[in-house]
Copies of this chain bind each other. A is one copy, B any other.
Amino acid sequence: MPLPSAFASELTWPDYDAAVRGGDTPILIPIGSMEQHGHHMPLHVDVLLPTEFARRAALEVGGLVAPPFTYGYKSHQKSGGGNHFSGTTSLDGATLVAALRDVVKEFARHGVRKVCLVNGHFENSWFIIEAIDLALRELRWDGITDLKVIVLSYWDFVDQAAIAKLYPNGFPGWDIEHGGVLETSLMLALYPHLVQLERAIDVEPATFPPYDVYPVKPEWTPCSGTLSSPKEASVEKGHILLEVCTRGIVDALITEFALARAEPRPMAQAS
């Protein structure tokens, strides 16, 4: 019987329990942030996108999406513009580590043995890995040694073929894809009412020296807050990205968790 929703939070506990008790159902946890994304996109891009990728992947493999982490680690200047912006609302590293550690341990207590962390905010990456390490350590102390965790950032599945289509004039590199073509195209395809492309500022790709300085020098970041221009974003590119990244995530889940593709089920709505 298919689950009534891809979102664990929309299930009753008996339905959730039935789904996860045996350990076969994977849980996908979106990890986002509240971070400025230029003049044309809202502060929650990094929550919306991994949540949607998690939902699509969950539907394909019969998994469940956990409630997203709505706040993340501090924005770095060279990948997110810097944490000095208004709107950017971040956690200390230790806080993010503790929160994710706690949640992974709780899912393991329920019986979950397959966890996929779907990251939507580059700066979270290292703290996510520390959290996994601490969670696995404490679970080991509790005698649980068979939890398997995949951690991924959705953009890492964009392959050369897709890059060629997305950036016909040359790829500026992931480093400065903050509020640029990738994120904007995805938002246009998924949440067009939240994108105001007409307000986007057509900045040159940001260039940085090969080091960081603290306190950050605000003048290093383009005044828009984005690190490259979103002007070439489009719905079509969004669909290319949705397709390639979802496929990559699904393949990773199937490979690592030895899953079958799920029976098609009626698409649940994003809450």
**Is A210 within 8 A of B156, CB to CB?**
yes
Which of A81-89, A164-172, A232-240, A258-266 binds B? A81-89
Contacts of A142 in B (CB 8 A): 140-141
20 pairs, CB–CB < 8 Å, chain A vs chain B: A9-B43, A9-B44, A12-B36, A12-B39, A12-B42, A13-B38, A13-B43, A13-B87, A17-B86, A47-B67, A67-B71, A89-B106, A91-B98, A91-B102, A95-B98, A95-B102, A129-B212, A141-B142, A149-B214, A151-B212
A contact residues vs B (CB 8 Å cutoff): 8-14, 16-17, 20-21, 34, 36-44, 47-48, 66-71, 74, 76, 83, 85-95, 97-99, 102-103, 106-107, 110-111, 123, 125-127, 129-130, 132-134, 136, 140-142, 148-152, 156-157, 194, 196, 199, 209-215, 225, 248, 252, 255-256, 271
A199 to B15, CA, bound (A): 11
Copy number in the complex reads 6
Give min CB distance, A83 to chain B, whole Å.
Answer: 8
A50 to B157, CA, bound (A): 33
Give min CB distance, A162 to chain B, whole Å.
Answer: 12
> Which interface residue of A9, A39, A69 has the most chain B CB atoms within 10 A?
A9
**Is A10 within 8 A of B90, CB to CB?**
no
Contacts of A107 in B (CB 8 A): 89
Selected from B16, B126, B141, the residue in CB contact (under 8 A) with A125 is B126
> Which interface residue of A43, A83, A90, A151 has the most chain B CB atoms within 10 A?
A43
Give min CB distance, A66 to chain B, whole Å.
Answer: 8
Contacts of A136 in B (CB 8 A): 214-215
Q: Known contacts A97-B93, A141-B141: does B214 contact A132 (CB below 8 Å)? A: yes
A34 to B69, CA, bound (A): 12
Selected from B86, B98, B110, B123, the residue in CB contact (under 8 A) with A98 is B98
Contacts of A12 in B (CB 8 A): 36-43, 87, 196, 199
A256 to B213, CA, bound (A): 8
